[in-house]
Amino acid sequence: MRSVLSPVRSKVTSTWRVRESPTARVMIRAMPKYRRDAWTKELTVVLPALISRLRRELLATPDDARDPREVLQWKIKRAERRMADLRERLLRADSPER
């Protein structure tokens, strides 16, 4: 058994970094090194998947359930606004004028 003062092992498994210690095993989300990479991934992968899932939930929600439908519609609009914001940030980052 390792002592408590021994270094913590770290290994990368797909998008998760697993840290193992004698007392606990902790999953830490791997973050892209640069902000632009994170924005691009969020714009092209994360948000479209979220919007797709929310739209499926909205279609599965009965018409008479007004409150849950409004919440889902609000979440979809928020994700779409976030996508527009990320597109704008990426365009500003690409432009030579600062």
CA–CA distance, 88 with 17 (Å, rounded to integer): 31
Task: Note down pLDDT in tens along the chain; length 98 residues.
Answer: 444 444 444 444 444 454 555 555 555 555 556 888 889 999 999 999 999 999 999 999 999 999 999 999 999 999 999 999 999 998 888 777 65
Residue 80 CB: number of other CB atoms within 10 A? 12
Give the global pTM: 0.64
Can you spell out the DSSP letters for 30-70? Answer: ---SSHHHHHHHIIIIIHHHHHHHHHHHHHHS-TT-HHHHH
Distance between CA atoms of residues 55 and 61, nearest Å: 10
Q: How far is 76 from 48, CA to CA, in rounded Å?
A: 10
Tokens of 81: 């606004």
- State the Cα–Cα distance between residues 48 and 57, nearest whole angstrom: 14
pLDDT for 4: 44
Q: Are 52 and 79 in contact (CB under 8 A)?
A: no
